[in-house]
Chains A and B, each alone.
Chain A
Amino acid sequence: MKVYDRLFVVLFMGVAALIPGGVAAQQTGTISGVVVDETNRRPLAEVSVTVDGTVRRATTGAEGRYTISGVPSGRVELRASRLGYGVRSQPVTVVAGQTATANFSLEPAALEIGGLVVTATGREQRTRELGNAVSVVNVSEDVELAAVNSTAGLLQGRSAGVVVTQSSGTTGAGARVRIRGNTSVSLGNEPLIIIDGVRVSNQVFGSAATVGGSTTIAVGGQTPSRLNDLNPDEIDSIEILKGPAASALYGTAAANGVIQITTKRGLAGQTRWHVYTEQASLEDVIDYPANFAAADNCNVVFGGAGFCDFDPATVISFNPLENPATTPLRKGNRQQYGLSVSGGSDVATYYVAGEVENEDGVYENNYLDKITLRANLTGRPRENLNVRVNTGYISSESNRPQNDNNFFSPLLNALLGPGDTTDVGAFYFFDPKNLAQIQVGEDLTRAIASLNVDYRPASWLSLNTTQGFELLNRQDAQHVPPGLPLLFTSYVEGFRTNNRVESLQITSNANATATFDLRDNIASTTSAGVQFQRERYEDVRAFGQGLTPGVPSLAGATKLFSANENNQENRTLGFYIQEQLAFSDRLFVTGALRADENSAFGVETDLVYYPSVSAAWVLSDESFFPADRLGAISNLRLRAAYGRSGLRPNFRDAITFYSPVVQRINGAEVPAITLGTPSDVTLGTGQPGLRPEIVSEVEAGFDLGLFADRVGLEFTYYNKRSEDALIQRNIAPSLGASSARFENIGSVRNTGIEGAIRANTIAHENLNLEFRLTGSTNENELVRSNVPPIFAGFAAGRQRIQEGFPLGAYFLTPVTFADANGNNMIERSEVTLGDSAVFQGTPFPKREVSLNGDLTLFKSFKVSALLDYKGGHKLLNFTRYDRCLEGVCEELFQSGRLEDQAAYIAANLVPAAQRTTALYLEDADFVKLRELSLSIGLPQRFITRFGADGARLTLAGRNLYTWTDYSGFDPEVNSFGQASFSTADYYTQPPVRYLTARLDLNF
């Protein structure tokens, strides 16, 4: 048996061994009741009802009922909590063999410090005990009422400090998710994703993640996010731990924050069926510009420079994207059909769901077909033992066009067309009709499973373990059929790439928590545990050229065969101990220490420690709190936290290695070796002393409830700083080694504030108005790097990783201009360039604000809207630059466009060392009407005809309108996809508008 298998078994057995063979039967009874909304007396579903100090719990069904059996006789404390409502507790006396009744009436609360969150110790903890901010996203309502169509979309505008950027409007493209800014210079900045306690894939394509990323075939801004594989309808809640202050116990993986996803579980009670469907249309609503040309390839600027004689009478134009005969754009559509069934008893519950989804994007060769299945079971084989089994399966097939910076890009080919229809059908290189035959496909299957066992052998001791895995199989294939009229020989012959990927992640955790009272008013909770993580990645990549017509597989390749294999593995073993002291259930002080080892650390690196300490004080519960004088204040909690967590190096970052290659010598192919990775020699010269990147964070803030918690305010200040930041520094080429290597040489700081206001402004039986305003700021700076600037992005639009500036900052030589001779034209002599490139701005939003409003009328009609603002950042409009460089932009053919002429001259008609695209760098602030929906509860008399208990029709729009001064198509696009820093608008498909109708039926 392999060592890690042994560990896996032992972690199981360690817990199992502690479960006594026969727990003495206790005298038990049952508690049941109904939970209602205090405002309108309507039953409340999905309320968690727990018996304090036990594993006994239940969740209310649609009619608000719950039942908990096996409750030890005697007096117990019963607690009811639900997101969006205040927590209520009540004592209940249970008599053996009898059923006690306990009803709850929950009041809507804008302040949510009474909720429960799952922590790294495996147990649920009350929010009021935590010294850090935790965001909880109410998924069920957002999915159904806003018709959110992706998991990344669920995070958009719903949590302060969480910035989700949709880099492309292509179906199947992913989104860039950043929590409290960019932390790492050279490692990924994606948060850690945990589903039902199991870590899952969340890497993106690019840089060192090329192996182990979300795809193996570059598709520019359309790189998929593995986060979006998940079906939002299966998700019950999402908790976001925003930084090391909250995520220290997750150790060497959590520096970018943690997104904990809990999938739905069955509810005790009668069997419930939920059927739903979505039908949507997708449309690209951008007004695209025409292409221009004139005689002798001349234009105003060339004429002004004396290169040619510009004759305005010869100007012609054509707009291939707006002409129905030539445009490759179409109306897309989306269908989704889902079914779930759930139910059970208080001993066992089940939740089984399935969904079929199809989305055809706005290009002919752009689609996504997906099937998701889930079966979650919970059981209570003993009174003090809970077992949960969660299984999920995803199967998808998608195809994306090669857009962005690519010869095959339909947008590039259309937007660089020659200005008439006589050449390649008005396109630059290729007619998109031919490009539509090129397939860049992904076939994916993904299984995620976990087993959670909670065992409480004594009232003061609880043990839990999570064992689980994620198995991901993917086929990435690019197929260029032979015979297409493409420019290059290799393309005309046709070629195919077929990469088979398998990724396995194993999570194995075991935790023990002991709770006892030190004194009457001091409770102690001590937790300790071990966590093991194994990540294995394998791929086999194959390529062949000269395809046989009609054979869409490598079997039809006739030459240039190549095959390669990549195998990588990473393992982490971590241990922690945590102590929490609760003083009078008002002041909570927690301290913890985690120690990690990882297989990718350098040989000289020992254990790495991640300490954390936090405190939370519910000031309003103190007797000295002047509640009478501050009557409006119903709740006040102060909190502060400090913690460290890390990011590990990649697989071979710490070692020096040689790759096998082949060299022809005297006509024979001979095995050879070369230092590092053979194609780009990025790595290969490792540093033995490599350590993880350590990120420390301090956060402090308060939660304030006003007017009986109808208004809630949250405020948090955070200061996050990395030490030993891993920077993939370029090394001197004269070493004759790799081009770069990872070194612990930097420090990155992120500071900012986060705020939220939630208010139930009107709470009337027939009129309810709620709004949620969240916002955050982020100041990012590379405090120390010890290396010369590192460059990112396009060469002509330099972004830098430079000490003293934000990561990815734009640095460009400034330009000024003036029409000195008054001829309504800018000439070279009228453009003044700065001496050197200077800081011009950051590509990442420095501030974001979201306003979410829900208006409910007559209980049945609900209107929801989400406005999303992001600002303080820049975007390089490289599309505009390139269209002018190629001489097709309208600006070059009109006199009087002085800034455009100056921009062109500065970018093209000066010596290389002085060229600058500074005038193509634009403010990218925007406000988007991200979501607007109308949801209607269908009349009971109508739905009963179909045997349904409830039905809801939702009409929703997404990406409805954008307010911005940005002159490009959309200020949110990025042709580099989810790359950490490289950012540019370069023939990237802008986000498309979704108009969706959704019908939910409950039986």
Chain B
Amino acid sequence: MNKTLMNNGRGRRPCLRWAVGLAVLGPLAGCDGILEVPDVDVLRPGQLADSTSLPALRAGAIFDFAEAYDDAVLYTGSLTDEFYNTDTFNTRQEIDRRSIDLQNPEINTYFRNLQRARASAELAGERFGAASPGQASSPQRAEVLSLAGYAYTLTGESFCSKVPFSRVLPSGAFEFGEAISTREIYQRALAKFDSALAVTTNAAEVRLATIGKARVLVDLGRVQEAAALLSAVPTNYRYQIEYSANTSNQFNDVWSLTINRKGFSVASNQGQNGLPFRAAGLNTASPSTTADPRVQYRPLSTGVDRNVLHFGQQLYPQQGSAIPLATGAEARYIEAEAALQRGDLSTLREKLNEVRRSITGLPELAASDIPGARQGQVDLLFRERAFTLYLTAHRLGDLRRLVTQYGRTPESVYPVGPYTLPAAGGGTTTIGTFGNDLVLPVPFNEQNNPEFAKVKGECVTTALEPV
């Protein structure tokens, strides 16, 4: 058996010999190996140094990203109008109520998982880069670099504008990063996507990086520049993060918390400003030809709290349902947004319909469906994005952009007013009101980073900084 020994060298130290002799143990002088113990269940960093470990490092980067990505769907969807909460955990409900405690364990987990995904992808990128030239310019390296870019992007879209990025040095020492602004986070994401594009010409990985780059450029307000990148991305392109029923670590947690545990329910018109996801969406238990198939749900009696009606999303109906990360649809919407900003309503409609044509049962928009007023056109675009990209962790970034790029007030785009839920016995139950959080806080545990502790007060969740 190829055992890893936890050989800390202590068994060979001559300092023990005096004691050995003292204890009538002459035959054991030297004590070689007495304190060596086998460690067969894990790998040590030194075992990952050669190129044979690269496939596992790449798969590990995807695994870590998957761990974070379903969290992103759940918690950004909860903070926005995609979900309402039917769980028994107050800590989940407070995200939905936009009143989040700094010590919220769900946000702590999401933030940590995103950072692990970023670090894991960066490590894999470094190891590929340090391997043979072939590995350094492989599609796999481009893929993990893109995942690092997406991890930065999701961090920027989800959290306040003071987020640190730190790293563990090979020696085991910690190198704490300073908190950087949302704009700087997006710039780091751009750099990752550019690195990915620089190392491969493989179409799938190029599209993955291109869509990511375009998404960040849109976040930065550089919509025209973003749209110009996307012509080569077909509408039916889709890069998915895969989950599996194979082991519990691989479960899609959106399935776990919406269907297996009925804790997050499909919302409709949440908090006055919410979109009518459920009202317009497709009830798979009672299908209607006029329903929008991009949002699918099924009434599942009550939530796990037993007091509130629950509607389980049906986009990810199994433990192993994959979640799209980058799609051709998003590319078309970026092109549509660029057209909108140029005032090219014809292209706007065409791009929106390109996506609609790719979805069975979804009618095209007629010219008359394009509002005449600018505000209505923006609403239409964001509504189309919201329905097509439902439960893919795009909605929070969109709400932020409506405020920072389109001049809307937070009170006009985020859920506001009484926190009202559909009661199990009919009618509604109101528990207080929505809070003021617009983004997620960097969790309390980050205060173990002395660099962040200096500026923790600058992580503001109730106001958005222009990027």
Which residues of the partner chain B approach A532 to less than 8 Å between Cβ atoms?
Answer: 34
A337 part of interface (Cβ distance < 8 Å): no
Q: Is the CB of A307 within 8 A of B430?
A: yes
Is A632 on the interface with B (CB-CB < 8 A)? no
> Is B40 close to A, CB under 8 A?
yes
- Residue numbers in B under 8 Å from A7 (CB-CB): 25, 28, 34
A736 near B120 with CB under 8 A, answer yes
Contact with B along A870-899 (1 / 0, CB 8 A): 000000000000000000000000000000
Q: Does A603 contact B (CB under 8 A)?
A: yes
Whether a CB of chain A sits under 8 angstroms from the CB of B446 is yes
The residue from A528, A606, A673 contacting B23, defined by CB atoms under 8 A apart:
A528
Known: A573-B31, A732-B446. A795 touches B90 (CB 8 A): yes
Using known A-B contacts A599-B36, A663-B66, determine if residue A669 contacts B244 with beta carbons closer than 8 Å.
yes
Q: A658-B45, A663-B242 are contacts. A734–B165 as well, Cβ < 8 Å?
A: yes
B103 touches A791 (CB 8 A): yes
The stretch from A90-98, A231-239, A447-455, A563-571 touching chain B is: A563-571
Select from chain A the residue with minimum beta-carbon distance to B121. A736
Interface band, chain A: 35 or more
Residues of B within 8 A of A733 (CB): 108, 111-112, 115, 443, 445-446
Partner of B99, one of A296, A571, A908, A911: A911
Chain A residues with Cβ under 8 A from B63's Cβ?
661-663, 672, 674
Near B by CB (< 8 A), chain A positions 702-741 give: 729-737, 739
The docked-state distance in angstroms from the alpha carbon of A565 to that of B1 is 15
Q: Of residues A565, A605, A913, which shows the largest number of chain B Cβ atoms within 10 Å of its Cβ? A: A913
CB-CB under 8 A from A15, the residues of chain B are: 24
Q: Is the CB of A510 within 8 A of B245?
A: no
In the assembled complex, the Cα of A830 lies from the Cα of B180 at a distance in Å of 42
Contact with B along A5-46 (1 / 0, CB 8 A): 011001100110110000000000000000000000000000
Q: Are A510 and B24 in contact (CB under 8 A)?
A: yes
Partner-binding segment picked from A154-162, A254-262, A394-402, A483-491: A483-491
Instruction: Determine whether the beta carbon of A665 is less than 8 Å from that of B24.
Output: no
Count of inter-chain pairs, beta carbons less than 8 A? 291
In A589-615, the 8 Å CB interface with B consists of 595, 597-603, 605-607
Residues from chain A with a CB closer than 8 A to the CB of B166 are 732, 734-736
Per-position binary interface string of chain B over residues 29-46, scored 1 when its CB falls under 8 Å from any chain A CB and 0 otherwise: 001111111111111110
Give the residues from 239 to 257 in chain B that come closer than 8 angstroms, CB to CB, to chain A: 242-250
- Provide the bound-state CA to CA distance between A734 and B162, in Å: 12
Please encode chain B, from 162 to 194, with 1 for each CB lying within 8 Å of some chain A CB and 0 for all others. 011111100010101100000000000000000
| Minimum C-beta distance from A607 to chain B (A) | 6
Across-interface contacts of B45 in A (CB, < 8 A): 656-658
- Are the CB atoms of B23 and A530 closer together than 8 Å? yes
How far apart are the CA atoms of A573 and B11 in the complex, in Å?
9
Q: Which residues of B contact A490 (CB under 8 A)?
A: 260
Report if B286 contacts A (CB, 8 A). no
Give the CA-CA distance A487 to B304 in the complex, in Å: 8
**Per-position contact with B for A282-297: 1 when CB-CB < 8 Å, else 0?**
0000000000000011
* Interface membership of B429, Cβ < 8 A: yes
Distance A598 CA – B35 CA, assembled complex (angstroms): 7
Q: Which of A598, A600, A659, A736 contacts B41, CB < 8 Å?
A: A659
> B102 within 8 Å of A by Cβ?
yes
- Assess whether B24 is in contact with A14, with CB atoms less than 8 Å apart: yes
Contact (A732, B22) CB under 8 Å given A673-B57, A681-B112, A737-B116: no
Contact of A658 among B48, B164, B445 (CB under 8 A): B48
Query: Are B167 and A735 within 8 A (Cβ)?
Result: yes
Chain A residue contacts of B91, Cβ below 8 A: 795
Judging by beta carbons under 8 Å apart, are B28 and A912 in contact? no
- CB atoms of B60 and A662 under 8 A apart: no
Interface segment among A108-116, A124-132, A325-333, A684-692: the answer is A684-692
Q: Which of B6, B33, B435 has the most CB of A within 10 A?
A: B6
Give every chain A residue within 8 A of B111 (Cβ-Cβ). 733
With both chains docked as a complex, state the minimum distance between the C-beta of B41 and any C-beta of chain A, in angstroms. Answer: 6
Query: Is A562 positioned at the interface, with any CB of B under 8 Å from its CB?
Result: yes
In the complex the two chains form, is B103's CB within 8 Å of A567's CB? no
Chain B interface residue count, CB cutoff 8 Å, equals 107
Cβ of A560 under 8 Å from chain B: yes
Beta-carbon nearest neighbor of B3 in chain A: A567
Chain B facing A: main interface SS: mixed
Report yes or no: B57 in contact with A562, Cβ–Cβ below 8 A: no
Q: Note all chain A residues with C-beta closer than 8 A to B260.
A: 488-490
A18 and B23 alpha carbons, distance in the complex (Å): 12
A686 to B111, CA, bound (A): 21
CA distance A795 to B13 in the complex (A): 47
Q: How far is the CA of A621 from the CA of B262 in the complex (A)?
A: 76
B195 within 8 A of A: no
Contact among B37, B90, B101 for A569, CB-based, below 8 A: B37
Per the bound structure, the CA–CA distance linking A652 and B118 in Å amounts to 24
- Give min CB distance, B26 to chain A, whole Å: 9
A729 and B124 CA atoms in complex are apart in Å by 27
Say how far B453's CB is from chain A's closest CB, in angstroms: 8
Q: Please name all residues of chain B whose beta carbon is closer than 8 Å to the beta carbon of A939 when the two chains form the complex.
A: none
Tell me the bound Cα distance from A425 to B307 in angstroms.
Answer: 17
What mask results when residues 662 to 682 of chain A are scored 1 for a CB within 8 Å of chain B, else 0?
Answer: 111111011111110011010
A429 contact from B27, B35, B38, B306, Cβ within 8 A = B306
Residues of chain B lying within 8 A (CB to CB) of residue A909? 431-432
Most chain B CB inside 10 Å of its own CB: which residue of A4, A512, A601, A730: A730
CB pair A788 B448 closer than 8 Å: yes
Cβ-defined contact, A595 with B19, below 8 A = yes
Q: Contacts of B262 on A, CB cut-off 8 Å? A: 487
Q: Check A571–B43 contact: CB distance below 8 A.
A: no
Given A732-B448, A735-B115, A735-B166, answer yes or no on A569-B38 (Cβ-Cβ < 8 Å). Answer: yes
Which A residues, 754 to 803, have Cβ-Cβ distances below 8 Å to chain B? 787-788, 791, 795-796, 798
Bound CA–CA A685/B123 (angstroms):
15
A999 to B56, CA, bound (A): 66
Residues of B contacting A4 in the complex (Cβ-Cβ under 8 angstroms): 34
- Pick the contact of B247: A562, A567, A796 (CB < 8 A): A562
- Chain B nearest CB from A884 CB (Å) reads 13
Judged by a CB distance under 8 angstroms, whether B389 is at the interface is no
Measured between alpha carbons, how far is A597 from B104 in the docked complex, in Å? 41
Digitize A507-521: 1 where CB-to-B-CB distance is under 8 Å, 0 elsewhere.
Answer: 000101000000000
Q: Which of chain A's residues have a CB closer than 8 A to the CB of B309?
A: none
Residue of chain A at shortest CB distance from B28: A10
- State whether A663 and B115 are in contact (beta carbons under 8 Å apart), knowing that A598-B35, A734-B177, A913-B102 are contacts in the complex: no
Indicate the member of B11, B56, B163, B320 with the most A CB atoms within 10 Å: B56
A660 at the interface (CB under 8 A from B): yes
How many angstroms from the CA of A731 to the CA of B116 in the assembled complex? Answer: 13
> In the bound complex, do residue A658 and residue B33 qualify as a contact, i.e. CB atoms below 8 Å apart?
no
* Given known A663-B59, A734-B452, A739-B445, contact A657–B164 (CB-CB < 8 A): no
Choose one: B25, B172, B261, B452; the contact of A530 (CB below 8 Å).
B25
The answer to whether A737 and B23 have CB atoms under 8 Å apart is: no
B344-375 interface (Cβ within 8 A of A): none
28 contacts between A and B (CB under 8 A): A3-B36, A14-B25, A530-B25, A532-B34, A571-B34, A573-B34, A575-B16, A599-B8, A652-B6, A658-B42, A658-B44, A660-B42, A662-B246, A663-B63, A665-B62, A665-B242, A674-B120, A732-B174, A732-B447, A734-B165, A734-B452, A735-B119, A735-B168, A736-B117, A736-B118, A739-B112, A795-B90, A911-B99
Residues of chain A having any CB pair with chain B under 8 Å: 3-4, 6-7, 10-11, 14-15, 17-18, 296-297, 307, 428-429, 487-490, 510, 512, 528-530, 532, 543, 559-560, 562, 565-567, 569-571, 573, 575, 577, 595, 597-603, 605-607, 651-652, 654-667, 669-675, 678-679, 681, 685-688, 729-737, 739, 787-788, 791, 795-796, 798, 908-909, 911-913, 915
6 A-B pairs with the lowest CB-CB distances in the bound complex, closest first:
A736-B119, A672-B59, A575-B19, A530-B23, A732-B449, A733-B112
Extra contacts, 4 of them, besides A530-B25, A673-B53, A915-B101 (Cβ < 8 A), are A567-B38, A595-B19, A601-B8, A655-B44
